[in-house]
Amino acid sequence: MEKRITRIVLTGGPAAGKTTLVSRILKEFKSEDGWKVLTIPETATELISGFGFGPFPNCMSMEDFQYYVIDDQLHKERLALRAAQAVPEEKVLILYDRAVLDDKAYVTDEVFAQVLGRFGLTEEQVLTHYDAVLHLVSCAKGAEYAFNYGNAARYESIEDARELDDRTLRAWQGHHALYVVDNSVDFEDKINRALAQICRVLGESAPEPGKRKYLVRMPDRGALTKAYGALPIEMMQTYLLSSDPDLERRIRQQSSFDEQLFFYTTKRVGEDGTRWVTERPISGKEYVTYLMEADLSLHSVRKLKYRFTYRDHRMELDVYPFSKDRAILFVYGSEPFALPPEIEVLKDVTGDPAYKNRALAELQRL
């Protein structure tokens, strides 16, 4: 099989959901399915937080800063392509958290062209570096209630964020595969639509929205693996202390084969019932640090998650160490659907709070 490398830029205004989308992508495109996902972090943020310099008073102009940002970005792009060629997987997805054209949103068109010219490049040449661009609209445009949520260091006003979102979208207008994901429904729908668009770019079938949850009798997991290729992913979810009663914090470790991933998740439910959930990948070192903030009144939730497909519907079986005869089955997609003959449903528990992970962390039983 010929190696297939796809380069996708995730962009948008402030507080758009890019980090949460990256987490979803890492969970969807797994190594056991032949994928390698390379994530390239936002360059400007790295330079400001890591090196301590930026377009600040008595430091440098915005034009000079853009030179450093683009220089570093182009270097990362070269390294990412080399890494993509070197890894054994045949399907490689390179995700850029912003890329070169994002810098055009911070300077005039003339200045941006001059900076690119210092690298011997034009906008048209830079656009060929990427196969698709996904613009996630800032929540300052249509989801204002969540604008400051999840980032205490947010310095833009809502008005500034809207303007920056517009300038960023304009900067990428020349790309032939630019897709815009707005805030027309809710955050979960937004992430699902963004993920579906990425699947279409990759030529993969997109996971359908919608989810049912069932309490089932423990099936023969070996039979599921043999019949449907169900392979286990080991997970541990730990709840963290929170000084805000309306904010839930948790971390998750998941392992499959020789790959380990770590995530930090926050969830807030508004007075009207609106849920705003954000998630970001974290390092193993950050994971250990967060463990020091664990809520000791709750157990960590350990489980084996078996993912498989039956009659075009994606399914997940969660097996917990505290239950030998029962498990939880998730079925994704629109109804109607059929269940494998190996599965015996005991009860539909969709939306039942007694079967949510936090309740399982407290009770440790199904």
Domains along the chain with CATH numbers:
4-202 (3.40.50.300), 211-363 (2.40.320.10)
Round the average pLDDT of the chain to a whole number and report it: 88
Laid out side by side, the sheet with 313-319 consists of 275-282, 259-269, 247-256, 231-240, 301-310, 313-319, 326-332, 211-217, 345-348
Query: What is the band of 53 on the pLDDT scale with cuts at 50, 70, 90?
Result: confident
| Res 257 pLDDT > 80 | no
Q: For residue 329, what are its two tokens? A: 């089955």
| Res 11 pLDDT > 70 | yes
Q: What's the pLDDT at 101?
A: 96
For the chain, the residue count is 366
Interacting residues of 109 by C-beta distance below 8 A, sequence separation 6+? none
Q: What is the mean pLDDT of residues 322-328?
A: 96
State how far the Cα of 209 lies from the Cα of 280, in Å rounded to an integer.
21
pLDDT in tens, 173-217: 889 899 999 887 788 888 989 999 999 899 887 766 678 999 999
**21 within 8 A of 11, measured Cβ to Cβ:** no
Q: For residue 42, what are its two tokens? A: 């936002």
| Res 152 pLDDT > 60 | no
Q: For residue 295, what are its two tokens? A: 């809520």
Q: What is the mean pLDDT of residues 243-256?
A: 88
Q: What residue has token string 């070269």?
A: 78
| Res 262 pLDDT > 80 | yes
| Residue 209: burial class (beta carbons within 10 Å; 0-12, 13-18, 19+) | middle
pLDDT in tens, 292-302: 999 999 999 99
Q: Is the pTM of this model over 0.75?
A: no
Q: What's the pLDDT at 89?
A: 92
Closest CA to 26 of 277, 263, 301: 263
Q: What's the pLDDT at 63?
A: 86
